[in-house]
Chains A and B, each alone.
Chain A
Amino acid sequence: MSGEEAPRADPDALLAAAEREARGKLRIFLGAAPGVGKTYAMLSAARAAQAGGRDVVVGLVETHGRAETEALIAGLELLPRKGMAYRGRLVPEFDLEAALTRRPALLLVDEYAHSNVEGSRHPKRWQDVQDLLAAGIDVWTTLNIQHVESLNDVVQRITGVRVRETVPDAALSKADEIILVDLPSDELLKRLADGKVYVEDTATRAVQSFFKPSNLTALRELALRRVAAQVDSDLVERMQGAAIEGPWAAGERLLVCVGPDMAAERVVREAKRLADLMDAAWFAVTVERPGHVMASLDRQKLDAGLRLAESLGAEVRSLVAADVAAEVLRFARFENVTQIIIGKARRRWPLSALRRPLSDALVRGSAGIAIHVVTAEAGEARAGWRSRLAPAGPLAGYVTAGLGVAAATLLGLVLTRFVALPNVSMLYLLAVLLPALLHGVWPAILASGLSFLAYNFFFIDPVETFTIARPHELLALLVFLIVAVIISAIAGRAREQARLAAQRMRATRRLYDFTRKLAALPDRSSVAEAAVVELHAALGRASVILLAQEGALALTAAWPPEDRLDTASMTAAGWAFDHGEAAGAGTGTLPRAPWLFLPLGGGERGGRIGVVGIEHDGTAPLDTESAGLLGTLAEQTAAALLRTLLSAEVTRVRTAAETERVRNILLASISHDFRTPLASILGAATSLLDYGPGIPEEARHDLLVQMREEAENLDLMVRNLLSMTRLEAGALDMRRDWVDVVELMNRAVATVKKRGATQRFVVTSAPGLPLIEADPSLMDQALGNVVANAVRYAGASARIRLSATVIDGQMVIAVTDDGPGIPAETLPHVFEKFVRAPRGAGDGGDGSGLGLAITRGIVEAHGGSVAARSPAPGQTNGARIALRLPLSPQAATPEDEA
């Protein structure tokens, strides 16, 4: 871009502004500590707003019995609170539904960080506020600085008090306005002393330690800085929106390494703070080593760290590599990361002592990238250590170890009785190897220890004591122990890796099968059915799929079968669908619902197909691995569902194209076939009109006959077209009746003769022929078309034979001629629309190419079939068209009383 070009407004900034226009505006009254007068300030401002004509409603305000606050509320409309049952008590809570129904212009909701009673729509009040804003309601609320998530640690360090109720930073940055309610520390302390400050458990030591001048000053500083940061970012956004050029930050990008230790959450918070200060995007990254098994406790801690990072706005990535440091750096370079934040864990005995700490490795390879190392605090490392020991194998492993050693001892004792065995210790190595392979490291180490003792006790002199007489035997014993432990470790790790590889392979295969299975299914509901069964198999939990049908979600598939969901679940499903985010169990929205719902497909609401639900099994949320699997399976399901939708659309388009093609052929056919008789009629009529007297009598008569015949042809064509249309539309109106086939054949012959057919006709039938149950006039048309066809193509002097017989329980009506026959290339297509044989010896004029197609349509509508053969069976020429019709059980004919 050239320097002269006028700066253009950043579309993202304008978009963000536009989005805020539709939403309600959020104003936060931020204070450094309780008692600075946030609620008071909010109410005063609200009264002013009301006086200015705004529709102000108090959603919820805690007055804590303060008269001055209560006086301010008087005159404002109060939203009644909702009583929520909680542990046998009725807790008056903010009524979100009522607020959404009331829809004031401005709603006051005190205490942004409040945790709602279980069973509410959201667990946190700030989430309620998001719903209100989304509904276009302006909200004013209050917040103390220590409730801000990323400042949580800092506040704890300053005050020594751990704050449990936190608000994610994103919920704070969403505020359109932050008003700092400030009060000098001295004055606050004075208010406290006067009892004007409400603190929940007033008398506790914690409160006293909290309200110390040094604390309050530090908190004030925090609050001021936070507001200043907000002002900065507002300013930047406005300047970008207005396309004012300025010295923007060079775009710092941060990366935080998250590992399975207690420090993880602290490191993540630190990273968030840095990211905020630098106004930088940030990643939270974890690296798993292939073949490395993580204890479940570690896994939980890692998950907690990653979840926190995600909630604080980090982009979370899970990488896999053997060399952790190299992978982190590779990723960092790829993403143009400028700073890396890492926690420094205490060294662990014994293995970690041999390894270089990750931070060192990173620093060594991090040319151009700044590294922040956050050191561990006391207690964190120890907790990590304990957890390392915690994952013990199942009891069976230890039993195997014990039994193996006992067996080895027994075998050794028996063997040494018969042969002199120089190295009984080999038997014990077997006893170590066995549990190592079957149950992993820990049982094997137990086996090593037991072997060591048993070997000593039973085989080393003096036998049956734990003492060792000869020094070289002690050495041998120690070497045995070391070898045993190493074998345990190696065999155990090999076993773990094999198990893990098998598990990965199973997962991969499962995913592959899943995709392939879904890809083969033709429609939405079968895809949904298959998907829930697979989800259930993969995750071991009940699964449901709800798909959008005419705007509403409907339960489409469930495994195990389920035909309805409770209201809470349906609400959660609806929320997930509307917002395109997970909802229900384990999420921030409607967490009490027994299901976790994930949206299926598309970022836009219109692109979403439905939701997939996984039953929550009571306590455990999904671990990262299952969650990842669920995400992948949900994506695959959405893709498969979208595919069926698209293929349905393709089919529809193709059908439309086919219809269009047929219509075009039809039009072409009509214009040709109708023009011919019309031309004849018009020609004959004008001849008679203009030259009537000059035309000899005989020729005049001939012209008139021609007119009549062509008009009859037209009539036939109109009838055929009409029937074809009805057959295709499925609108054939069948009126079945008993039909005498012989009569039918005779009538067909009479009709063509009346139209001037010159051929010889023979009608034959087997004696005692039953009646058929059919629509008489449709059958007239069906057979009439076949006979007319024979007349048209067989030649003027042909012999046309009509016969009716019963073969294999079906009535077979055949029309056979001895004309030139049907060309081999046309034969397979004679019953198709618009297929006409080239005109041979026939003189019956062109048909519309519809006659036999209609015959087939009518016969098939009666449950019968048609067939054409040329040359006719038993002849060297001609053609035979056969109609087969099913016979109905013959109704009894009445006994005659003769």
Chain B
Amino acid sequence: MSAGTVLVVDDEPAIHRFMAPALAANGYEALRADTGAQALALVANRQPDVVILDLGLPDMDGKEVIRRLREWSPVPILVLSARDREVEKIEALDLGADDFINKPFGMGELMARLRAALRHRMQDKGETPVLRLGGVEIDIPRHRVLRGGEEIKLTPKEFELVAFLSRHAGKVLTHRHILRAVWGPAHEHDTQYLRVYVGQLRAKLEADPANPTLIITEPGVGYRAGE
């Protein structure tokens, strides 16, 4: 039984060469595209469960592929990017990519992200009244947060923030995205709000605030809610 279909879009044959067997070993069916045009065609015809997309393509900008895909497809997109190109990553995420992974990467890390993306796709089914973030339970209608059955007191903004993050668990959210959603468009550049609130949330929710597992920082890009 296939764990899902994964489309790998990259013009480097070497990447396909090691990805294909690794994906197969993990039970995925791997599709291969070398250009943006091929990728768009394959998504339309084969409807993969996840797309792994390299941003540097010979025929069109990877961001353009995301823009076109997002016009009609909600398929999770995992972007491959160089470590020092935050701007590119943020643009890709703002265009609708779900996650990114820095090149070079280890296979284990890639598989973890793939699983998260697939889970997110399954989970993203409208309003769930109670969300889970690790060992923390977030009860939306009652505005309550429980850890190990014990209620944790949160301020309204802290609650809004943790609720928003958990609703998009597994997905990387850019600072701008979070700030717009929680504080409103007027505050979309006030990243220090986020730092402070994330710090407070970690202190209240994380088992070890120094090594957070629930709210993970993606330096220079944004946050990801762990699972």
Contacts and interface: CB of A to CB of B under 8 A. Distances in A.
A896 B156 contact: yes
A677 to B, nearest CB: 13
A869 to B, nearest CB: 26
Contact of A898 (B155, B191, B196, B217): B155
B104 A711 contact: yes
A890 B190 CA distance: 12
Interface string B132-164: 000000000000000000000001111000000
Interface of B: 83-84, 86-87, 104, 106, 155-158, 175, 183, 187, 190-193, 195-196, 199, 210-211, 217, 219-220
Contacts of A723: 84
B220 A737 contact: yes
Contact of A719 (B83, B158, B183): B83
Smallest CB-CB A-B distances: 8 pairs: A898-B155, A738-B192, A776-B219, A776-B220, A896-B155, A777-B220, A893-B196, A746-B210
A897 B156 contact: yes
A639 interface: no
Interface in A832-889: none
B220 A775 contact: yes
B135 to A, nearest CB: 20
A777 B221 CA distance: 9
A780 interface: yes
29 contacts: A708-B106, A715-B104, A722-B84, A735-B220, A738-B191, A738-B192, A739-B195, A740-B195, A740-B199, A742-B210, A743-B199, A743-B217, A746-B210, A747-B217, A750-B211, A771-B192, A771-B195, A771-B196, A775-B220, A776-B219, A776-B220, A777-B83, A777-B219, A890-B192, A894-B157, A896-B157, A896-B158, A898-B155, A898-B156
Nearest to A739: B195
Contacts of B192: 738, 771, 890-891, 893
Given A742-B210, A771-B195, A777-B219, A735 B86 contact: yes
A224 B9 CA distance: 98
A711 B104 CA distance: 9
A52 B190 CA distance: 88
A737 B189 CA distance: 9
Interface string A721-742: 0110000000001010111101
A897 B196 CA distance: 15
A771 B106 CA distance: 32
Contacts of B195: 738-740, 771
Contacts of A722: 84
A780 B219 contact: yes
A735 B156 CA distance: 31
Contacts of B157: 894, 896-898
B86 A777 contact: yes
A45 interface: no
A763 interface: yes
Interface in A798-829: none
Contacts of A715: 104
Given A719-B84, A735-B87, 13 more contacts: A722-B84, A735-B220, A737-B220, A742-B210, A743-B217, A747-B219, A776-B220, A777-B83, A777-B219, A890-B192, A894-B157, A896-B157, A897-B155
A593 to B, nearest CB: 58
Nearest to A761: B210
Contacts of B175: 737
Contacts of B210: 742, 746, 763
Contacts of A719: 83-84
A750 B208 CA distance: 13
B191 A737 contact: yes
Nearest to A888: B192
Contacts of B83: 719, 777
A775 B219 CA distance: 9
A740 B211 CA distance: 14
Q: Which of B156, B175, B219 has the most CB of A within 10 A?
A: B219
Majority DSSP secondary structure for residues of B touching A: helix
Contacts of B187: 894
Contact of B193 (A739, A742, A763, A894): A894
A711 B87 CA distance: 26
B33 to A, nearest CB: 26
A715 B219 CA distance: 18
A130 to B, nearest CB: 65
A898 B106 CA distance: 44
Contacts of A896: 155-158
Contacts of B183: 894
A894 B195 CA distance: 11
A765 to B, nearest CB: 10
Interface string A750-783: 1000000000000100000001000111001000
A735 B155 CA distance: 31
A708 B105 CA distance: 10
Contacts of B211: 746, 750
A566 B156 CA distance: 74
A770 to B, nearest CB: 10
B216 to A, nearest CB: 10
Contacts of B219: 747, 776-777, 780
B173 to A, nearest CB: 15
Nearest to B87: A735
A404 to B, nearest CB: 90
A70 to B, nearest CB: 80
Contacts of A777: 83-84, 86, 219-220
A723 B199 CA distance: 30
Contact of A893 (B87, B104, B193): B193
Nearest to A893: B196
B89 to A, nearest CB: 10
A771 B210 CA distance: 16
A105 B196 CA distance: 86
A751 to B, nearest CB: 11
Nearest to B187: A894
A777 B199 CA distance: 19
B3 to A, nearest CB: 24
A719 B103 CA distance: 11
B92 to A, nearest CB: 16
B25 to A, nearest CB: 15
A890 B158 CA distance: 21
Nearest to B154: A898
Interface string A696-735: 0000000000001001000100010011000000000101
B194 to A, nearest CB: 8
Nearest to B158: A896
Interface string A298-314: 00000000000000000
A826 B158 CA distance: 50
Nearest to A718: B104
A891 to B, nearest CB: 5
Interface in A90-119: none
Contact of A891 (B106, B156, B190): B190
Contacts of B217: 743, 747
A723 B82 CA distance: 13
Q: Which of A733, A743, A747, A891 has the most CB of B within 10 A?
A: A743
B90 to A, nearest CB: 9
A577 to B, nearest CB: 50
A894 B191 CA distance: 11
A731 to B, nearest CB: 12
B195 to A, nearest CB: 5
A190 B219 CA distance: 110
A317 B101 CA distance: 84
Contacts of B104: 711, 715
A739 B83 CA distance: 18
A469 to B, nearest CB: 117
A443 B87 CA distance: 90
A894 to B, nearest CB: 5
Contacts of B220: 735, 737, 775-777
A733 B210 CA distance: 29
A618 to B, nearest CB: 66
A739 B196 CA distance: 10
